[in-house]
Amino acid sequence: MALVVQKYGGTSVANIEKIENVAKRVINTKEAGNKVVVVMSAMAGETDRLINLALRTSEKPNEREYDALISTGEQITVSLLAITLDKMGYKAKSFLGYQVKIVTDQNHKEARILNIDTETITDELKRGTIVIVAGFQGVDIKNNITTLGRGGSDTSAVALAAALQAEVCEIYTDVDGIYTTDPSICPKARKLNKISYDEMLEMASAGAKVLHPRSVELAKKSSVPVHVRSSFNDDGGTLVTKEDKEMEKVVVSGITYDRDQAKVTVVHVPDRPGIAASLFTPLSDQNIIVDMIIQNASIEGYTDLTFTVSRKDIDEVKKIVETVARDVGAETVEYDENISKLSIVGVGMRSYAGVASKMFTALANERINIMMISTSEIKISCVIEAKYTELAVTILHDAFGLEKEG
């Protein structure tokens, strides 16, 4: 008897009819002879609504209470699915993060899963129960409710699949797999049959929201195969799996964009040891993730330091950076929230030359200016003006021939 973990995203559980559709899928999987653990997201738009309520109540909501509030969307969907399955004659039980127990660290809003107690779930599965777990939430060692970051129920699902040694973790969403780029902005996007963990991790970290980056990291670490598919049809989706020889032949597998970035430039900073540390240490102390960093060449002992952060962190970043800039004697700090990060990803990049120049040429031909560049072994990212995002994605999709297979 195989164990299957199925995760259903917001659009798949958006109303009672859709939850009935989920129940039917779960029953089919169970009737095919599997043990089933279901991970649910909140109804589409619900987490946004809850966040909005918190922000209307306070400019800076208490983090413990914020997590307690925004995790409630999942409580609704898990119990609705359990009620539906019960009505259909199946034994089902819903569980919240603290009931399972999904233990996380204490970093509210972006907590990381430390451990999952599998006993409750395995006992229920032995009794033939369909187990339904609330995604996106956990509990810290002091019994506070935590949340895993937006889109985090993918991570709940993969972490459960890893802890329970499931055969597969199926991620049901509103697209029928992972595409060469976001199909909602590029009609020529092509569905991939499979993609390596490393490529998917780079795509997810670079903004492809189809999978939460932590979920891919965990899947890779525990070798859990992840199958991304649609909850609205039976088509085979995309398998996220170990790299194979075939994958290396493809130079660029996908293109992603991230509009949630902001650029910060500290202007005219004295060029001396310790300046970068004095800027980035207080940011990391506040768990603010700095993505790209460039330091210009020094002119007469002064330099400019530019970096990008997530736009949601910009208010906190402003407070910290203004103080440091004053302390180190910088001239001024400039902010640009009108940017977008564009990335091309592919394991084949490791063995082919000329990928970066092809990217830069394609952007130059459309007169799109590149403000920042960063590279990893299998990814090249450029920061551009936000208004060119869709155009840039489309021209790069054409330039690298992603419409056609292989």
Note whether 135 binds ligand ASP by CB under 6 A.
yes
Nearest to 30 by CA among 51, 66, 13, 6: 6
User: What is the number of H-type helices and E-type strands within the chain?
Assistant: 14, 20
**Which one of ligand ASP, Mg ion, ligand ADP, none is in contact with 150 (Cβ closer than 5 to 8 A by kind)?**
ligand ASP
**Nearest to ligand ASP of 44, 370 (CB atom):** 44
| 278 binds ligand ADP per the rule CB under 6 A | no
Nearer to Mg ion, 9 or 237 (CB): 9
**Does the protein bind ligand ADP through residue 135 (CB under 6 A)?**
no
Nearest to 85 by CA among 134, 10, 21: 21
Which residues, 251 to 280, sit near ligand ASP by CB under 6 A?
none
Select 42 or 166, whichever has its Cβ closest to Mg ion. Answer: 42
Report the partner that residue 307 touches, choosing among ligand ADP, Mg ion, ligand ASP, none (CB closer than 5 to 8 A by kind). Answer: none
| Shortest reach from residue 141's CB to ligand ADP, in Å | 28
**Shortest distance in whole angstroms from residue 45 CB to ligand ASP:** 9
The per-residue DSSP string of 60-125 comes to S--HHHHHHHHTHHHHHHHHHHHHHHHHTT--EEEE-HHHHTEEE-S-TTS--EEEE--HHHHHHH
Q: Which x/- pattern, by CB under 6 A, does the window 198-237 give for ligand ADP? A: ----------xxx---------------------------
First vs last C-alpha separation in the chain? 37
The C-alpha torsion from 196 through 209 and 253 to 244, rounded to 10°, is 10
> Is residue 71 within 8 Å of 37, Cβ to Cβ?
no
Query: Which run of H or E residues covers position 246?
Result: helix 245-248
Asked if 151 interacts with Mg ion (CB under 5 A), we say yes
- The answer to whether residue 179 forms part of the interface with ligand ADP (CB under 6 A) is yes
Q: Which of 8, 90, 136, 257 binds ligand ASP (CB under 6 A)?
A: 136
Q: How many CB atoms lie within 10 A of CB 13?
A: 27
Give the interface size with ligand ASP as a residue count (CB under 6 A). 13
Respond yes or no on whether the N-terminal peptide bond of residue 101 is cis (omega within 30° of 0). Answer: yes
Residues between 55 and 94 with contacts to ligand ASP, criterion CB under 6 A: 73
C-beta closer to ligand ASP: residue 136 or 197: 136
Cα 282 → chain centroid: 25
The token pair that represents 75 in the structure block: 């409580």
Closest distance to ligand ADP from the beta carbon of 48 (Å): 11
Question: Contact with ligand ASP (CB under 6 A): which of 12, 29, 47, 104?
Answer: 47
In the region spanning residues 144 to 173, those forming contacts with ligand ASP, defined by CB under 6 A, are: 150-154
Strands 332-336 and 261-270 turn out to be: antiparallel
177 binds ligand ASP (CB under 6 A): no
Count of beta carbons in the 10 Å neighbourhood of residue 179: 22
For position 254 contacting ligand ADP by CB under 6 A, the verdict is yes
Burial (Cβ within 10 Å: 0-12, 13-18, ≥19) of residue 42 = buried
- Binding residues for ligand ASP, per CB under 6 A? 9-10, 41-42, 47, 73, 135-136, 150-154
Task: Please report, as ranges, the residues that interact with ligand ADP according to CB under 6 A.
Answer: 9-11, 41, 151, 173-175, 178-179, 181-184, 208-210, 254
Site residues (vs Mg ion, CB under 5 A): 9, 151
